[in-house]
Chain A
Amino acid sequence: MKFTLGWLKEHLDTTADLETITDALTDLGMEVEGVTDPSEALAPFTVGHVLEAEQHPDADRLRVCRVATADGEKQIICGAPNARAGIKVVIASPGDYIPGIDTTIKVGKIRGIESFGMMLSEREMELSDEHDGIIELDPSAEVGQKYLDLFPSDPVIEIAITPNRPDALGVAGIARDLAARGLGKVITPEIEPVKGNEPCPKPVYLAPDVATEACPLFTGRLIRNVKNGPSPQWLQDRLKAIGLRPISALVDITNYLTYDRARPLHVFDADKVHGSITVRLARPGEKLTALDEKDYTFDGSETLVCDDNGPEGIGGIMGGLASSCTDETTNVFVEAAWFDPTRTARTGRRLRINSDARYRFERGIDPAFTQQGMELATKMILDLCGGEPSDIFVAGDVPDHSRSYSLRPARVSELVGMDVARDEQTRILTALGFGVTGAGDTLDVTVPGWRPDVQGEADLVEEVSRVVSLSQLESQPMKRPAGVAGQVQTPMQKREFAARRQIAALGYNECVTYSFIDQASAALFGGGKDNMRLENPISSEMSHMRPALLPGLLQAAARNQARGYSDLALFEVGYAFHGGEPGEQHLLASGLLTGHTGPRDPHGARRPVDLYDAKADVEAVLSRLGAPAKLMTRRDAREWWHPGRHAMLCLGPKNVLAIFGEIHPRVLNAMDVKGPAVGFTVFLDSIPFPRQSGATRQALNLHDLQPVERDFAFVLDAQVEAEDVLKAVRGADKKLIADASVFDVFSGERAEAQMGTGKKSLAVSIRLQPVSATLTDAEIGDISKKVVSAVEKSTGGVLRQ
């Protein structure tokens, strides 16, 4: 909402300066978004008198002018077609900044002839877009006079209006708030009814489908013999100042009242309106070309203003082109009606029309002001265009929105924590137009028609505290729990935080990627289906909810690789989605490694990342989160993992706690990521929480006897898994074998040459922990035999000779 200071002062008698006013507006809830004060930019410009204008010898379009200025006679070159001797002009001198061309001018030569200044057009002064020629001032302007003295500037104030304040979409409403704050007195002129010369010849009929709700009130009046044309300068200036284009007096009047009183109106060319006026709901398929010259087709839910031929306007939103006023219009039919906010909003949204009228009707304007708006419009039309008005035709009644609420003055203190005397509360509400009566502990407050937002006591408390000013609110300590602050995170929240810190500690950089990704990437990870599609994505790159975190990390990897960073360790902890309903989200932690373990180094430590890097990290995370140590390994994860180089770590056959491995080369290719790339995902929701709740650990049992280590090498089929061998080894003597691990694998061509096709060798180390006495060689020999036979039995492996 824009208005000028001068405009405001037509409604508010105040001595407050601009800053006081803008501070108060922001504080009252009408946040000032900008103040444009042209006076600073226009200050240097003065009046000049062109004494002579002669053709430039070397340029057809230029004239060499001799100009009387504040600093004496100057030679100025000018290209404007209207530059001629005798006119009074606006002069900029060397050193002055010209806002419209963003330049500080200096003495310069134009086609060989020196120029000591510039004569300005409206566009160069940023007064308008007018650039057909330089400004010609009234001959009475005096040479050397400041331009600003001739045309005092009027600062433009732009404020943000919250949706609850339709009344502040008119300057008069803004003035009312400021006056309540104590910044002056409201001087909005009284409205005098205009007597009609004849009964209104165009009757208005409200169809039953609109009369009760959509349009309960419609007033109309015919004015004959008006003369349309450009509106007077003051009106044009005012509209231009707030960014509206002056069109013609009749149109400008409706725009003016929209901003002055938040009262949208419409003026039809009465000669183009056939027969009587009917307000009714649209019929599906009906069409209208509106004032914006666009065609609209209705679905039956819209309120239309029709004549005998059909639709002539969309109620509360925009008039029709066919019946609009032109310069030739002589008889007009003026409309002031009240349209239902909800229906107006829905219609405007469906038709995608954003008009000043819709903006006000959908927020709810004062129904009681309908006929007054009509009188005001009539008066302005008669003043500016002449004419003879008819009586007002009133169809329907002013809808009754009257309501009143009890306000306990003590509530202001209870709810806000601010003490405001009862009398002051009464004064404030009265100044805002509320009716206040009552005595004792409650006030009875009736709500004025322009405040549809006020719906209860809490709103009245807000009005009081708002006008007093919340900036005066002083903080009061809130009671806090006694003693040491307790735990506030749920176990799952703790887990999320722990996973994040752990993965960062493993050397990964945390990313926060968008929750929505493109369909192709989502589809690579089992998503991209319609149930996770956004209806109105901001771009095709963000069209589907992510089914996993890896696609976002892979995209991030591709971007970093394109910037020249290829050794990456990225991770994210966050929600992925498995459906489009609330709660169809699950918490994941995913990590991605690409390239090498580090930069090239002189120690030979660098190597490409592989799945065992991912395995180490996923095990560290699972351990940190308290997952059971013994997990089942499965190899049948989804298709974005390398089929032979991944594993799912499960608790039982169904509950997958984590997956790690190489990303499928096809996926890397599709996402432009250069491999190798390995990753992991931990399903944070799936890990059971430890049953034990106390802090006590199990007792630690240590043995004093020296442990013994023995190594074995087994020849096995190449696809026998190490875990199966170790399981057999451990099972050979559960009491004495404390630990078993693989410390070497010999496989591939050379191994097969030695041990036969399809064979490999695994070297296993066992650690024997004697419990009661040192082991004898014979005892150790017995255990070794048991180990060998257990491995042979369960895997077919034999001791390598």
Chain B
Amino acid sequence: MDGIADLRDRYLNEIGGAADEATLENVRLAALGKKGEVSLLMRSLGKMSPEERKTAGPELNALKNTLNDAITEAKDRLAAAALDARLATEWADVTLGARPSRQGSVHPISQVTEEVTTIFADLGFSVAEGPQIETDFYNFDALNISPEHPARQEMDTFYMARAEGSNAAPNVLRTHTSPVQIRHLEAHGTPCRVIAPGRVYRSDYDQTHTPMFHQIEGLAIDRDINMANLKWVLEEFFSAFFGTSVKTRFRSSYFPFTEPSAEVDIQCEWVDGQVRVGQGDDWLEVLGSGMVHPKVLKAAGVDPNEWQGFAFGMGIDRIAMLKYGIPDLRAFFDSDLRWLRHYGFGALDVPTLRGGV
């Protein structure tokens, strides 16, 4: 059947020559459509004798498959060419700025508070809180600071106004986080290990003082906790916090609510006006601490003959300045957008011990 060979050659030619998908479709319909030439031949198979059908059937099927394959191949080729042609016209200036999205930030005080909390959590300290407006009992008397005690005068306390004619002692804005010691012991008793971060207030405003700042209080009470334990806890803390081994130096000092009392210095070095913690021969005062005074334990309802322990108070703002090289305390509270962006932390920068705070 020479006719079939001719048909194949003709349609393969037409398929190969189709310039677009519409022409190709016309060719397909002409060959393989319902009334297409090949389809009609296939339908004529029924009228053939079995002998004729034996040879013509496979030949026609082969023709149909060949044409189908050729059409599919041509379709893919044309589609690829059309895509290439479209892409050739599509170009964007990728150096244009992106659609803007806001970048939020977390304040260094919040970040450092979380860092400190994370480290102390590992040492078994939970987080306690207390009110920022305090009675003079919790802020002073319970902490062994009697009304005329010079230490009370040195505190630069803010007092809340009392109504005219009221004889009650005015409340104060807490001058330290130490009242939380009393409130926590009253509520939860002993033994205990807590830290208490928060705002504190003193009437002082100059280069290095703001009338509000942040402290973190530490308190650990048990039967046999001593000052050497305090030194260990602080050295562990500072080393984790600064990410380098930090030595501390204890110096005798005085706080009415601890006995013995010590100022604690950390090892540091000054390089080009910047402080480097954990190296060098200089010392930098960072916190006050001591063994909780027996009178304070008594005021909190704890028997000082059975229980003892340490307390410390540290400036959050100050250790944030040290760790992150932030120069001016006053700027912490100014909310200058440029400062917030520069010294702030990403929303997802949650401090973890496994990642190193």
Chain A residues within CB distance 8 Å of chain B: 26-29, 31, 162-165, 341-342, 345-346, 349, 362-363, 413-418, 453, 456, 458-459, 461-462, 465-466, 469-471, 473-478, 480-481, 485, 488-490, 493, 497, 500-516, 530-539, 542, 545, 553, 556, 559-560, 563, 565, 568-571, 573-575, 577, 580-585, 597-599, 601-603, 605-606
Contacts and interface: CB of A to CB of B under 8 A. Distances in A.
A456 B97 contact: no
16 contacts: A31-B263, A342-B147, A415-B227, A461-B259, A473-B231, A478-B123, A485-B123, A510-B105, A534-B159, A538-B158, A538-B204, A574-B199, A575-B132, A584-B133, A585-B132, A601-B97
Interface stretch (B25-33, B46-54, B273-281, B337-345): B337-345
A504 B161 contact: no
A631 B253 CA distance: 56
B336 A563 contact: yes
Contacts of A413: 226
Contacts of A462: 252, 259-261
Given A477-B232, A514-B333, A490 B127 contact: yes
B149 A470 contact: no
Given A489-B127, A538-B203, A538-B205, A163 B252 contact: no
A299 B105 CA distance: 56
B332 interface: yes
B162 A510 contact: no
B65 interface: no
A536 B340 contact: no
Contact of A346 (B148, B163, B224): B148
B341 A509 contact: yes
A605 B262 contact: no
B121 interface: yes
Contacts of A602: 96-97
A568 B337 contact: yes
> Closest 10 CB pairs between A and B?
A417-B228, A507-B102, A598-B100, A556-B335, A162-B254, A462-B260, A29-B252, A504-B347, A475-B232, A504-B104
Contacts of A569: 102, 104
A538 to B, nearest CB: 5
Given A362-B148, A582-B171, A513 B335 contact: yes
A471 B350 contact: no
B211 A465 contact: no
B337 to A, nearest CB: 5
Interface in B152-189: 153-154, 158-163, 170-171, 173
B332 A362 contact: no
Nearest to A463: B260
A712 B15 CA distance: 49
Contact of A497 (B114, B124, B225): B114
B10 interface: no
Interface in B242-286: 248-254, 256, 259-263
B215 interface: no
Given A416-B291, A490-B127, A500-B110, A459 B99 contact: no
A489 B120 CA distance: 11
Candidate in B121, B161, B348 with the most chain A CB atoms within 10 angstroms: B161
Nearest to A593: B102
Interface of B: 96-97, 99-107, 109-110, 114, 117, 120-127, 129, 131-135, 138, 146-151, 153-154, 158-163, 170-171, 173, 199, 201, 203-205, 211-212, 220, 224-229, 231-233, 235, 248-254, 256, 259-263, 291, 293-294, 308, 332-338, 340-341, 344, 346-348, 350
Given A416-B260, A511-B107, A474 B171 contact: no
B150 A362 contact: yes
B99 A501 contact: no
Nearest to A454: B259
Contacts of B120: 488
A599 B105 CA distance: 18
A535 B334 CA distance: 24
Contact of A559 (B203, B226, B336): B336
A459 B263 CA distance: 16
A31 B288 CA distance: 13
B341 A163 contact: no
A693 to B, nearest CB: 19
Contacts of B254: 29, 162-165, 453
B260 A512 contact: no
B161 A530 contact: yes
B126 A489 contact: yes
A488 B161 contact: no
User: Of residues B109, B123, B154, which shows the largest number of chain A Cβ atoms within 10 Å of its Cβ?
Assistant: B123
B251 A505 contact: no
Contacts of B211: 514, 516, 538, 542
Contacts of A601: 97, 99-100
A593 to B, nearest CB: 9
A599 B102 CA distance: 10
A165 B9 CA distance: 117
B252 A28 contact: yes
Contacts of A573: 110
A473 B233 contact: no
Contacts of A534: 158-161, 173
A509 B110 contact: no
Contacts of A605: 99-100
B100 A582 contact: no
Contacts of B162: 535
A733 B349 CA distance: 46
B263 to A, nearest CB: 7
Point out which of A414, A515, A556 has the most chain B C-beta atoms below 10 A from its C-beta: A515
A221 B305 CA distance: 49
Nearest to B203: A538
A33 to B, nearest CB: 12
Contacts of A505: 104, 347-348
Contacts of A415: 226-227, 260, 291, 308
A603 B332 CA distance: 36
Given A341-B148, A538-B205, A513 B333 contact: yes
B326 to A, nearest CB: 13
Contacts of A497: 114
B212 to A, nearest CB: 5
Nearest to A501: B347
Which among B133, B211, B261, B344 has the highest number of chain A CB atoms within 10 Å? Answer: B133
Given A488-B121, A509-B341, A515-B132, A466 B260 contact: yes
Contact of A488 (B126, B199, B232, B338): B126
B34 to A, nearest CB: 32
B159 A478 contact: no
Given A477-B229, A507-B101, 14 more contacts: A29-B253, A342-B148, A345-B148, A465-B260, A488-B127, A490-B127, A504-B104, A515-B132, A516-B211, A530-B161, A535-B158, A560-B335, A574-B199, A582-B171
Contacts of A474: 228, 231
Contacts of A538: 158, 203-205, 211
Contact of B335 (A489, A503, A511): A511
A516 B132 CA distance: 12
Contacts of B147: 342
A716 B14 CA distance: 63
Given A416-B260, A473-B227, A475-B231, A489 B336 contact: no
B99 A458 contact: no
A516 B134 CA distance: 15
Point out which of A345, A418, A490 has the most chain B C-beta atoms below 10 A from its C-beta.
A345
A687 B132 CA distance: 22
B150 A581 contact: no
A577 B170 CA distance: 17
Most chain B CB within 10 A, of A416, A485, A512, A553, is at A512
A582 B133 contact: yes
A288 B120 CA distance: 57
Nearest to B291: A415
A31 B251 contact: yes
Nearest to B250: A470
